[in-house]
Each structure stands twice: as structure tokens, then as C-alpha cells.
Amino acid sequence: MENFYTKQPQYYGDYLGLEQILSAQRPESEARGVDAHDEMLFIIIHQAYELWFKQIMHELNSILAIFKNETINDNSASLQTVTHRLGRIVEIWKVLIEQVRILETMRPMDFLDFRDLLTPASGFQSYQFRLLETKLGLKMEQRHQQEYYQQQLRCEHLQQIQQQEVELSLFELLDKWLSRLPFWQIEPYWSDQNTKVAESIENLHPFWQEYRTIYKNSLRGAEITEISLADFDALFFDNSENRSTRLSAAACQSAMFITIYRELPLLQQPFELLNRLLEIDELMATWRYRHWIMVRRMIGLRAGTGGSTGAGYLKGAVENHHIFKDLSRLATYLMPRTVIPPLPEKLANKLIFNNL
Amino acid sequence: MENFYTKQPQYYGDYLGLEQILSAQRPESEARGVDAHDEMLFIIIHQAYELWFKQIMHELNSILAIFKNETINDNSASLQTVTHRLGRIVEIWKVLIEQVRILETMRPMDFLDFRDLLTPASGFQSYQFRLLETKLGLKMEQRHQQEYYQQQLRCEHLQQIQQQEVELSLFELLDKWLSRLPFWQIEPYWSDQNTKVAESIENLHPFWQEYRTIYKNSLRGAEITEISLADFDALFFDNSENRSTRLSAAACQSAMFITIYRELPLLQQPFELLNRLLEIDELMATWRYRHWIMVRRMIGLRAGTGGSTGAGYLKGAVENHHIFKDLSRLATYLMPRTVIPPLPEKLANKLIFNNL
Amino acid sequence: MENFYTKQPQYYGDYLGLEQILSAQRPESEARGVDAHDEMLFIIIHQAYELWFKQIMHELNSILAIFKNETINDNSASLQTVTHRLGRIVEIWKVLIEQVRILETMRPMDFLDFRDLLTPASGFQSYQFRLLETKLGLKMEQRHQQEYYQQQLRCEHLQQIQQQEVELSLFELLDKWLSRLPFWQIEPYWSDQNTKVAESIENLHPFWQEYRTIYKNSLRGAEITEISLADFDALFFDNSENRSTRLSAAACQSAMFITIYRELPLLQQPFELLNRLLEIDELMATWRYRHWIMVRRMIGLRAGTGGSTGAGYLKGAVENHHIFKDLSRLATYLMPRTVIPPLPEKLANKLIFNNL
Amino acid sequence: MENFYTKQPQYYGDYLGLEQILSAQRPESEARGVDAHDEMLFIIIHQAYELWFKQIMHELNSILAIFKNETINDNSASLQTVTHRLGRIVEIWKVLIEQVRILETMRPMDFLDFRDLLTPASGFQSYQFRLLETKLGLKMEQRHQQEYYQQQLRCEHLQQIQQQEVELSLFELLDKWLSRLPFWQIEPYWSDQNTKVAESIENLHPFWQEYRTIYKNSLRGAEITEISLADFDALFFDNSENRSTRLSAAACQSAMFITIYRELPLLQQPFELLNRLLEIDELMATWRYRHWIMVRRMIGLRAGTGGSTGAGYLKGAVENHHIFKDLSRLATYLMPRTVIPPLPEKLANKLIFNNL
């Protein structure tokens, strides 16, 4: 600690680089002698968004680094750290959603004072936001009107995003982590031949056989039954080429197991972790929605400055860009706790503290 | 509009100066090879605060410019503009308060990872925030533990704040604007000799004579009466050297008149305006309070990095730095509408639309 | 005021009817000896929603009463009152949206503890919310999957809603109020033959002739031009049977005029009023969206307790139930202030204070 | 599950007792033919508060029940449940704070329309809120101006609160739970004679001996050192009659240990739990503060309806009614992780999963 005090004394403004931060607002209207009071707000709010995107990226990078480890030691603080940092991302998104209200104090007429000066700059070109979505797991091919991004982003930015797509995203790392969770390797519950997660309906674990039967019995009405059971099987046991769900069958099984038995000590952090991912997804969806509403109010049905159909585009994104959608589907197949059989003691014992 | 299109096409990141913004995070811990994940958050949240302080200053400067005019034309959009921009400052403060929650995700132990690297930088040194308070109307001499500011702020910053103190603050401009409002010059209600606001109790307008009587009658219990009536008289009619209230008697009278007769068309914007000032004051008080709670949680009862008593200081500020406190005192002297006499028609007619 | 004191002294709990309020929670699970801790939350949050719906209705009824007057006197406080109460409704909706977060602390498994006990009760059956939507202007025929409402609502409730549909809604009253605003009757600007709002393109006021030309010139690209100009004409001048927009052409014209000339004293309150309606619409849309996200998280893709497709339904409502959508479309046709000609002085003089 | 379907079908309004809930608004102004539009808001917001207080009580009761057990099994879901329900209380308080904004839309003049009709009812008489504070751990003797409560509360309510004071509060149960945590019984780290928590400075555990030395060395400046070290010793080791801190020395030690070693699996839930208690305390403090600001705006410096000094009282409460203040003091004595010695492996092994 001593060496801390050999350093120069810090001054708030220098430490924070405020000269740099506070000289980065260069309204086009000012440069051109146009009177547009609200352009400053427009610049500053977007800068604030980008600062926060950088922070989210900082958290996300540290989370990806943890998940990139071959195994995650349950006795390290890894999952606690991930859960906590996801929780911070949650808090950031809440503020980003609130921030929309500040921009909404800009009235359409006041935006028109400088809107044409921005052409064709647009939020599409937020490289950080695209990168952030990519790191979470959104692929270019899933994007609504992906051609816009390709037209809009500067070549070097597009390339960096494409490079990022090659690396494993949080979605994919989550899939891998969930798939290798060792619940299904634990013996007494399942017969010897089932040392791995069942990935086809023909080869089900006793656990899933039971659970499937209970689910089936809960369905009412012939048609519903067929559809729902088919969906159930597709989600949890279809591992074919045709699998329509992004999350693997094995990962779906583990996520479901965690959700059902969340009370076991070893599953408490994983359960929190899954919940925070859902929350982030939901908050990002809400942010896009609020943003869409705000844009519609600002420019009506006009094209956005980037030539997009503005409000139209955002609606597409609102619908398509849920990243952890598959996790939120799982709730469909939960059963009341009264009908779920308790875990065999020997298995349960593997998931608790044994030194107490 | 054509000349807009002779310009270079804009790119989002360039327009927003993102390279500059996003390269201004220089964690000390990184420079020294210390592991302190949360320092990035600490830097970015303070940068976000400073960005928003700049925006508040932008709004405030435009408001001060309007109030610096000798007169404010009620047929211009001046008051509407002021009210609207105060409303924007309100929305910004709401977000700044919410932002505290993000910082609260940093735990005391995680702050300790880099806290000593910051010495003696501290929030006291936020030049923008001090300037903003000064522009609103807080004087150095009113500040709790003013000596801190004088020790902490860099010489040039302190000087700029002292220079700002020489100029009229929003508080003072408000006082002047309220004092010159022409309600008391309008004839038929008051006798000829009263063409100016009464500034002493001996020389009261009939309006205030009536109002004072009604107020007096509303008091119950001898002691209360005397104290309260003395307070009432001090607030509204004491214009002596000893006046303890910052807001002048004339301004208090006008603010009261606006509050009571807020429904008359000419008073609708002034009423909104006064309300927004109260809201800003309250939000800033709430922000300081939330900030104090957060600091206490982070460092307990330790001294702040700037050597202040940390949490202790903030509590002082919470109590003393209300700027428009006098406006909030006015509510004490409001009477129910059933006992307030209606305005004489001739006066009321001056405060409405006459062409309808 | 004296008679106030002849009354009995009030006790907080009695005054608020707390015995009644706090004895109205009757969890089904408790009645059946089922363990379902979270049912209390489920009941209380819905009761809180319904309390606030009652409050919104209280504000709305007072607003409808004002608008039902044949004329609204600009020198009364009518519009100020309406704007202020709409502002209160805005604040209520903000809280109702935040409240969703409380319900989200209920986890899907915990909902399953009592979900089946509720069948087939469902939020569809919130009579107050349906009535509130109807009073704002949503018609049964516009509702997504209207048949649900008809199946779900108790007969007497459905009838009351149908009766309410016969009365003028806020949407319709707004249309009438906007249509009769006297801007177009004011002479010097328009020739004598135009004493009424132009309701067809052949018979345009000089104001709209000018505005239409400016708008037309702002369009770029042949195809866009045609479509957009056709939309423009349809919105503002088509008064035929085939009119696809709910808001009348005359009302659209007035709303646009208010938006453009919001700075004139007489238009300041109307401008605020229109903004608040947009805000309420947006907040209700956001609430539905948040609600949909929450339901999806809670029950996945299952049917809701009322037999609806749950999450599916809500998405339909999110898209279709915007009531003041037409107002938000107007932004499409705004022009920058630099190209809008100032109002002729004689007209402007009618919209300002003349006694100053 | 079958028996669920033998029941009567539920209707939303009946299930929620809406007839009862929505008929409990009885404005005094209406009863007396006084025009006071805003009394409805005043009633409904307080009813909403009371509904939420009931919900908080519901959560709190279940938490108290868990803590009343002689031991809490770390392999049960007890702590997870407590943490989760405290998290729900956190979310409720956030909404209760937001709700203040709705009440702030009532203007002082509009409150005066019915204020005198309420005498002497006042928020002091909120029996549920007092009970809730009592259950958390606030004693009558700690209350600012406790005589008010005694005058204001109906006899039966006061008695129930006094009875509640006899039972163990969450504060006391927490103290007991923390005090019996078994960290100090675990052998290898501490010599045999220290099988219990050291409760005097003469008899310190090696852990605390080390920690105390590190803390001592971190202090700078003679005077500070003495005061701080004395505070440190008083907090953690003074178990005498004169102990000024409410939380026992043993509990302070455990809470500190949990905070420092939060990363060990067995301490992760306890750490979250302590954080949530701090959050609730902070949110309640913020709520009281917001409430005080709102009351000051509404009635200025007048006496509250209950005869209190209104705003004056609340300020006292803001300062004195922090319940878990002692927990927030602990941050004062945290040391950077770089200087804290790692736990001996044998001890650490007791706090992790051993079956992996």
C-alpha cells in the first residue's frame, strides 16, 4: 500500500479527464451559425449512452473471461462475480431507460432545428451497441433488416463486429456451461447407461421420463396436448440438424433443472444468474420499445436520419432481438411443486454443504 | 435549408466525438498494475454526472440570459421557454438520482481496491457542480464548511466561482423579476397612493390588509398567533437591514399572489415556473441525501478522499444548501380558497385574454 | 370554515376505511390449506392497480365534464385544470409501470403454487381498466380479440362498457374541441369565403396552401413524394366517408397549428394538453408492454388463466390499443421553423395578451 | 391438483374483493358538500400505502418466523428465501418512494380545500407503519418525539405495538443469528482456548488480533488513531453494560467476517442478506426524507394535522430512525483486500462445497 503514496496527488478533474470529456460537444448548428438550443442535449445524451455502453462492455468482458474457462469452480467466487456484475448491468439498463425521458423533453419542432445537419448519422452506427449485442449473442443474420447495419457501419467497425461473431458469445458460452453441468453424471438417480444428458427422446433419463409424463398429464384437450408435447420434446430432446431453438437441448434441460431445484445450495447462484440474464434481455427489449416510442413521437413516420424507416425499423428490432428468448420459453413447461417428485437423497447430497 | 446538404456526410461516432469521449477513462489501478475492476465504474459514472452537469449549465445559461433582460414580455415565449427548460433540468435530476443506484452496486471492499489511489481527489473539486450551485444562487458564505471548497478547488476554478458570484444568480434575478411584476401598479384595486408594492407593514395595500386579517383570524392560541403573525409580517413586509429572509418582501408578495391566483391566464406560466424551481431544489436536496447515504455505506464514518469528514459533510450540505427555501416557506401562509376574496373585476381583466 | 370544527375528530384509520381495505385479502390458497406465500402479493398488487385505476377514472371524469361544455373559456382555468390533471394521470402511470417490478419478484414456480386456484379469473375482467380505456376512446371493435372481452366480462360489466361507448369519449371530445377552435375564423389571414376550416383539398386556406407547398418541396425522390403527399392530404383534408384516420381533418389541422405556433400565449396550454395526451398513450403502451414481458416470464407461452393465449394476446393489445395514435402521426408533417412563414400580425394579435 | 377444479370458477373482481376495496373511499368534502377534487387522491394514495404496508408485513412475518428458529440450516433454502423476500421489500419501497411524486401533484391550495376536515387525523396514526418499524427493530424509546405516538395512536393500537416490542424484532433476531454463527468455533485457525467469539479486547482471537493491528497501522495522525482505535474496540469488543452500540460485539464481528470473506460459498447468501437489510434501511430513510420534503412543500412550516410540528417532526425521524445503522458503520473498519491475510485452508474448507 505504501507505494500508493509516492504518487502525485490527484485532482478530480484531471483524474476524470474532464477537459477531454467536456470539450467533446461540437454542435453542428453552432458551427454553422444556426440557432438550435437542443442540439447540445442531443449530443450529450448520446455521449452519456455511449459512456454507459462502455461500462456494460467492461462488465461483459469480465463475464465472458470467466465463462471462457474450461470449468467454473463452484468454490471460487466466479458465479457470484458474474451474478453481481450482471446485476450491475441490470441497474445500468434501468437508468438508460429512464434517460429516454430526458430526450423526450425535446420537442419535434426543436429537433427539426438541427435534424438535417446530422444526415446520415444515425443510431445504427453505434458501434459499441452493435458490439455489445454481438457479445451477448445476437448474430448479424438474426437482425431485422441486417442490410442497414452493413450499409451504415464504417467498414472497420463492421469488420470488428464480424470478428467478434467468430468468438464465442455469452449466449454460446452459457449454452456450453449449462450443457456440461454435472447433474446428469451423478449416479444413483439414473441408471448406468445414462451417464450423459439425454439428447433424444428415445434415450431419456428417468428424471425426464417422469417429468415428461407429469407435463403430459397436465395438458387438456387433444389438440393442445399434441402441439404442446411436440414443443416440449423439441425443446428438450431434439438435437437434430433441424433444431429450431438456438439453445441446445442439454442446456435447456440444465436450465430447467436449476429452475426447479433452485433451493439447493449449489443451484442458488446459477438460478440468480439465469434470472439476471432474463432481466437484461427484458430491459434491453423495454429500452428498444421506449426508444421506438420516442422516435415515433419525434419524427412521426418519417425516415430516420440514417435512411431507415425510423420508427418502423425499431419495431422490427423490438420483436426480433431478444437474445435469451429460449430461457424465457422454459416457464411454459414448469409444473407445480406439489407434483414434482423430490430429488433422491443421494443426488441432493451432492448439491449441498457437507461440512456443517 | 439547402446549405445543409453542401456539408460532409456525418458519421455517428465522429459527430459525437466518441473517440475523445471513450478514450478518457484512465484507471490509476491499471497504470499501476493493481487489480481493481470497479475503478472503471467509478470513473464512468462521474464522467456521466459531469456530462449532465454541463447540460444543466447549458439550460441554466439560457434561462439566466432570459431573466437578465430588463423586462420579460408576456407575449413572447420567454416564460414558456424558461418553464420548459426548468422542466428538462427536473428530468435530468431525476436520472442523476437514479444513477446513484448504479454506484451502489460497488461494494465497500471493491472501492478499497483503488480508493487510496485517488487521494486527495474528491467530489468537492467538481468545478461544474460548484458553478452550477453558484449560478442558481448559493453563495460561498452559505456553504457548510466553506473552507473545504477553498482548500480543495484549484485556484483558477475558485476564482471563476468567485467571479460568478459577482454576477446575478438565478435566485437574484428571480427576486428582481418577481419584485417588478406589475400587479400592484394596476389601479382600481388599490388607492392611488399605493402604486408600488408595500414594503412596510405601515403602508399596506388593501389586498394585503385583507389577507393579513384573514390570516390572523385563522391562527389559534395566543402564543402561536404572535409568533406566526410576526413571521408573516417579517416575510412579507420587513424590508429593513435586518431582514433575515433572502428573498425580498416584494418578491414574496408577488410569489404569493401568483400562487393564490394561479388560475388567471397571465399567471399560469409564472405559477408553473415557481413550481419547477421548487422541484429542482427538492431534487437536488434528494440527490445530496442519496449521495450521503451512498457514501456512508461505502466508507462508513471515515474521512472522504478529500479529507472531509465524508458522510458528515454531506449531511451539513443536505441541511444548508436549499436555494429556494424561501419559496417553500410561502405555503405556510396560504389560506383556503373559500376565505380569499375574489379579485376585483377590473384587475382580473388585466390578467386575461381580451380578444376572445 | 367554522362548521369544520363542529364535526367529530377524525382518526386516520377510520377516515381511510382501513378496516375495509385491509380485510379484503382472501387468498384462495389459505382457504384450501395450500401453502402459497406469494398469493398475497398477487392479490395486493392487483388491488393497488385497481385503486389507482379508480383515481385515474376520478381525474378522467372531471376532464370529460370540462370537455363536455359547449365551449371552453380560455379565460377560465379549464385548460389549466385539464392539463394539470392529465399530468397527474401521467405520474400515476409511471408508478403503475414501476409496480410491475414488484410482481416480477414472484417467480414462475411460486406462481404455480396457486395459479390453478384462480381459473378462469384474469386481468381481462378488470372492469375498471376496460371502462377507463373506453372513456379515453378505445372502442370494442378496435380491440385485439374483442371476443375475449365479451366472453370474459360479467354481463352487467359488459353492458356498462357498451353504455359508455354511446357517450362521447375523450378522443371524440378532443376531436370536437380541436375542430371548433377559432383559428380559421379569424379574418385577415384568410379570405372571406374561408370562414371555416378547409375540409377538402380543393378549398384550402391560404395557410394550408402555403404549408402544403413547403411540405411538398421538402420531399425527395419521386415515389416518396407521391406517397407522402397523398398521406398528407388524406390526413388533413380528406373528410370523406372513406377517411381512414379516426381524428377528423379539421382536428388534425388545429392540432398541427397548435404544435407549430405553440409559443403564442393562447396556444401554450393547448400545446401542453396535447403533449400530455401523447404521454398517457405512450405510458399505457409501455405498461402493456412491460406487462406482456412479465406475463411471458411468468407463464411462458401457456394460455393465461382466462384462457387467452396469454403473452400472445398482450402483444396484440400492445400494437392495436394506442388511442391517440393520430396525434403522434402529426410529427411526420412538421417543417423546420426556418421555412414556416410567421403568422400575419393581425392574426397573431388575437392569440396574445392585449392589456400589457 | 384435481381438487382445484371442483371449486367454483373465479371472477377477477370477486377474487380481489374489489367491491370492498373500491367502496372504501369516503371523502369528507363530499359528505359536507364542499368542493375538493383532490381529497380522492389523498385517500387513495394513503390506501395504496397501507396495502403495501400489509404486504411488507406479510414478507416480514415470514422472515421473522424463519429467524425465530433455533438454528438456520444452511442446506435448507431458508436464507435464500429471506434474501429473496427482503429483495421484494426493497422493490416495494422503491415504488413507495416513487409514489410521493403522485401526491406532489396536489398543490398546497388544493390541499387547503379539505385539510381542516381531517383534523386531527395524521400519518402518525398509521398503525401498520408503526408496527412494521417495531418488527424491524425500532423501539418506542428511540423514536423522535415519542410522546406524539402515545397521544396519537388509539389505545388498542398502542397496546399492540407495546406487545410487539416484547417479542424479538428482526434487529434482535439478526443479532442472535450473527452471534451464533460458527466461524469462531472452527478450530485450526484459533487456539483451543478461543472456542467462542472474543467479547473483550483482552481475549482476542488471533484473527482479530491480526485485523486490529492492520487497522491500527492504517490510521494516520496521533489523534485520529486514538479515537478511531477506541471506536474500533468499542464496536467489536466492548460487551459491557455501557456498550453504546445496539448491535452486540459478537454480531459485529460476524457481520464483518461475512463482509470480508463474502466470496466463500457459505457466506454468499449471508452477505446478500446483510446488504438487503442496509438497502431497506436506506430506502426507508429516503422515503421519510422525500415525505418530509413533500410535507414541507404542502404545508410549509405549519403544524401537521395531528398537531405535530409537521415538517419539523419528520426531520427528526429522518435522523433517528435508522434501524440497521450499526451495520452501515462497519464499512468504516474495512481494510483493502491486499492487506487482509487469506483464511487458513482448513477453515476455508469448512465454508465451501466439498463434494465437487
Cα–Cα dist A201/A194, whole Å: 13
* pLDDT at C196 (0 to 100): 54
Return the higher-pLDDT residue of C317 and C289: C289
For residue A104, what pLDDT is reported? 96
Candidates B328, B333, B339: best to mutate against D (most CBs of D within 10 A) is B328
Task: Using the structure block, give the residue that is written with the C-alpha cell 395526451.
Answer: C277
Whether B220 maps to a domain, the answer reads: no
DSSP 8-state code for residue C8: P
Residue B315 forms contact with A (CB below 8 Å): no
Q: How far apart are CA B207 and CA B211, in angstroms?
A: 6
Q: What is the pLDDT of residue C223?
A: 59
Give the relative orientation of helices A78-103 and A265-299 as an angle to the nearest 10 degrees: 20
Measuring CA to CA, how many Å separate B30 from each of B34, B330, C296, D170? Answer: 6, 53, 43, 43
Name every chain B residue with its beta carbon within 8 A of the beta carbon of C268.
77, 80, 268-269
CA nearest C143: which of C308, C16, C4, C303?
Answer: C308
Residue of D345, D353, B187 lying closest to A353 (CA atoms)? D353
A178: enclosing H helix or E strand? helix A170-179
Residue-wise pLDDT for B169-227, tens only, equals 999 999 999 998 877 665 544 444 444 555 567 777 778 888 999 998 888 766 566 77
* pLDDT-wise least confident of A52-61, C161-170, D197-206: D197-206
Nearest to A328 among C109, C300, C331 (CB): C300
What is the predicted pLDDT for the residue at A91? Answer: 98
Q: Is residue A189 part of a domain?
A: yes
Query: What does the pLDDT look like over D234-278, one tens digit per residue?
Result: 999 888 888 889 999 999 999 999 999 999 999 999 999 999 999
Q: Work out the angle between the directed axes of helices A265-299 and C265-299 (0-180°, nearest 10).
A: 150
**Residue where the block lists cell 491486499:** D338
Cα C25 from Cα D54, distance rounded (Å): 10
User: Which has more confidence, B8 or B97?
Assistant: B97
Residues of D in contact with B262 (CB under 8 A): 107, 109
Quickly list DSSP for B273-297. HHHHHHHHHHHHHHHHHHHHHHHHH
Number of domains in chain D: 1
Exposure pattern of A283-293 as b/e (b: 16+ CB <10 Å)? bbbbbbbbbbb
Of C10, C21, C95, the CB nearest to D47: C21
pLDDT of residue A84: 98
What's D153's domain CATH number?
1.20.58.480
For residue C116, what is the DSSP state? G
Instruction: Assign A313 a pLDDT band (cuts: 50, 70, 90).
Output: low
Q: Determine the average pLDDT of the residues in B81-107.
A: 98
What pLDDT, on the 0 to 100 scale, is given for residue A74? 83
Report the mean per-residue pLDDT for chain C: 87
- Structural domain includes residue B150: yes
CA gap D288, D265 in Å, rounded: 36
Q: For residue C13, is it within any domain?
A: no
Partner-chain residue, chosen from D1, D77, D354, that has the shortest CB–CB distance to A263: D77
| Interface with C, mutate which of B81, B340, B355 (most C CBs under 10 A) | B355
- Which of B184, B210, B213 shows the shortest CA–CA distance to B198? B184
Residues of chain D with pLDDT under 70: 1-7, 184-200, 221-225, 303-315, 355-356
Q: Is the pLDDT of residue B349 over 90?
A: no
Find all residues with CB under 8 Å of D39, minimum gap 6, and list them: D27, D28, D29, D30, D113, D114, D117
Domain-located, residue A62? yes
CB D16, CB C118: distance < 8 Å: no
Question: Alpha-carbon distance B317 to B299, whole Å?
Answer: 18
C-alpha cell at D180: 451464533
What pLDDT is stored for residue A181 in this prediction?
A: 84
Whether omega before C336 lies within 30 degrees of 0, making that bond cis, reads no
Is D17 within 8 Å of chain A by CB?
no
Which residues in chain C are contacts of D157 at CB distance < 8 A? 13
Residue B341, SS3 per DSSP: coil
Task: Give residue B101's pLDDT.
Answer: 97
Which residues in chain C have their CB less than 8 angstroms from residue B77's CB?
262-263, 268
Name residues whose C-beta falls within 8 Å of residue B334's C-beta, 6 or more positions apart in sequence: B256, B259, B260, D108, D109, D112, D300
In a domain, residue D145? The reply is: yes
Closest CA to A76 of D259, B38, D265, B107: D265
Q: Cα–Cα distances in Å, from B32 out to A103, B120, D91?
A: 39, 17, 39
Interval B313-342 mean pLDDT:
84
Write out the H or E segment, with its range, that includes residue C106: none
Confidence (pLDDT) at B264: 93
Separation CA B320–CA B128 (nearest Å) = 19
Distances (CA, A) of A130 to A155, B275, B317: 14, 41, 42
pLDDT score at A356:
57
Residues in chain B closer than 8 A to D298 (CB atoms):
331
Percent share of chain A, pLDDT over 90: 56
- For residue C101, the enclosing domain spans 38-351
Answer yes or no: is D235 within a domain: yes
pLDDT reading at C262 higher than 90: yes
3-class SS of residue D200 = coil
Which range is least confidently modeled, C4-8, C21-25, C83-87, D102-106?
Answer: C4-8
ipTM: 0.92
CB-CB neighbours of B267 under 10 Å: 23
Q: What is the 3-state secondary structure (H, E, C) of C137-203?
A: CCCHHHCCCHHHHHHHCCHHHHHHHHHHHHCCCHHHHHHHHHHCCHHHHCCCCCCCCCCCCCCCHHH
Q: What is the mean pLDDT of chain A?
A: 87
Give CA–CA dist A177/A270, Å, rounded.
10
Amino acid at position C161, single letter: I
- Within 13 Å of residue B48, how many CA atoms lie on the same side as its CB? 30
Q: Is A300 within 8 Å of C328 when comparing Cβ atoms?
A: yes
Q: Is residue C5 part of a domain?
A: no
Reading the block at residue B312, the C-alpha cell is: 458528515
* The pLDDT value given to residue A3: 43
The alpha-carbon gap from A269 to the nearest alpha carbon of chain D, in Å, equals 9
